[in-house]
Amino acid sequence: MTNTLNGRAVSDILPTYTKYVALISQVGTAAPTVIELENTIGPIVWTRANAGDYNATLTGAFDNTKTYLQYNRSDGTFRVLNVNTILLTSISSGVLADGVLNHSSIEIRIYP
């Protein structure tokens, strides 16, 4: 039996992507910490590469043509580096800087 809603199969109206929604913080030279709000992608590991550069890593997860990224800060970037890594940067006074992220929101969606 197929579940329906207003005559449509529920599977036809549910999102087809997996997603990761979190609040990210970072202090000193430590790796970022996250409060995961939703995660259907898998166990993403956050590390600090350099001042203001942070990597989200999950082997084979991030296809550059099927990954959507949203980052609520205008003083930094969030982009796919390769199939295993997303790079998040934080900037203060025009330079890469630690200690800038404080419960900043991020979203990663991966489409089939």
Give yes or no for residue 5 having a pLDDT over 70. Answer: no
pTM, 2 dp = 0.86
**How many other CB atoms sit within 10 Å of the CB of residue 32?**
21
User: Is 60 exceeded by the pLDDT of residue 1?
Assistant: no
Residues 6+ apart with CB under 8 A from 106: 20, 21, 22, 23, 24, 69, 70, 71, 72, 78, 88
- Indicate whether 4 pLDDT > 90: no
Cβ(62)–Cβ(85) under 8 Å? yes
The answer, yes or no, to whether residue 11 has pLDDT greater than 70, is no
Question: For 39-80, what is each residue's pLDDT tens digit?
Answer: 999 999 999 999 999 999 999 999 999 999 999 998 899 999
Buried b (16+ CB within 10 A) or exposed e, 43-81: ebebebeeebbbbbbbeebbeeeebebebebeebebebe
10, pLDDT greater than 90: no
pLDDT value, residue 9:
73
Task: Provide the pLDDT confidence category of residue 15 given band limits of 50, 70 and 90.
Answer: confident
